[in-house]
Structure 1
Amino acid sequence: MEKIASFTVDHNKLKRGIYVSRKDKVGAETLTSFDIRTKLPNMEPAMDIPAMHTMEHLGATFLRNHKKWADRTIYFGPMGCRTGFYLIFQGDLNSKDIVDVTREMFDFMSDFEDEIPGTNKIECGNYMSHDLPMAKWEAKKYKEEVLAHLTEENLNYPE
């Protein structure tokens, strides 16, 4: 079987950042999938599941309500390895195109003080698995350590 593109990236060289994971054509449209890498793969502990679940709910809610990006948001969700998130937007985009909205989203997550959206038994399949304080901590860590200091090596996959 052919390897999928994300399995060809050397995760030992991967920094935390924002990367174009792939681009797919759907009819005349291009969908760009981004790797929002919040943890150093195989170097630091993966995110806690309840915190990551909360970040998923907050991030998806933020994006689907964003003035500019709501209509272009296809998906926001966690990576199975728990070292980041996948974000899919409509459009032929690059990492620099989404830096501002990613910063806004992580500001939203790190400052969130209300009831977590979609966390009751009717709205969520695992509604008891959430951790807002830890989600806020993870979001703040990423925005301060990574998003505030982005360089080309945080925006392009390593060779």
Structure 2
Amino acid sequence: MKKVVVESFTMDHTKVSAPFARKAGTIETPKGDIITKFDLRFLQPNQEAMPTAALHGLEHLLAGFIREELDDVVDLSPMGCRTGFYLILVGERSEAEVAVAWINGLKKVLEAEEIPAANPIQCGNYKDLSLFGAKEYAKIVLEGLMKKYN
């Protein structure tokens, strides 16, 4: 049987300092395309976690905003631990390029007046969204990212 290695389980979560953008891996498809996964860590693992309504709000907001900043986004998915998101892109990108896009996306979150697709037609749990919470976490993370990447 093939041994499976889950990349995120190989990272020592006690030795990182959030927030950060980390290239978590790349794969090459059978046709030669490169897919890159990034860990966008908002909060310190095992010390903090976002409430689901704030995390869900950030997911809806950043789904569009990150695509405005970066081409070839496959997905932006919240981590089950609620400390960040995985960003999956077609092609190679640097951590610095992704960090700038993330910063710009968070700035747009702070300017948002509503959460997109916050209705029962477009969302499977539309009642569990918080614009206020999304903005509060965006402020906290943006402050930390600006110290690291600017």
Under a length normalisation based on structure 2, what TM-score does the superposition of the two structures give?
0.91
Query: Which residue does the alignment assign to 1:147?
Result: 145
Unpaired segments ≥5 residues, structure 1: 152-159
Unpaired segments ≥5 residues, structure 2: none
Query: Which residue does the alignment assign to 1:154?
Result: none
1:1-159 equivalences under 5 Å are 1-16=3-18, 17-26=20-29, 27-43=31-47, 45-64=48-67, 66=68, 69=70, 71-113=71-113, 115-144=114-143, 146-150=144-148
Q: Secondary structure at the match of 2:89?
A: strand
Matched AA of 1:99: A
The 2-side partners of 1:99 and 1:37 are apart by: 11
Q: Secondary structure at the match of 2:102?
A: helix
- Aligned sequence identity (%): 36
The 2-side partners of 1:31 and 1:79 are apart by: 19
Matched AA of 2:24: S
Give 1:3 deviation, angstroms: 2.9
Under a length normalisation based on structure 1, what TM-score does the superposition of the two structures give?
0.86
Q: Deviations over 1:100-146 (max 9, x none)?
A: 21110111112212x210111100000101011011000010001x2
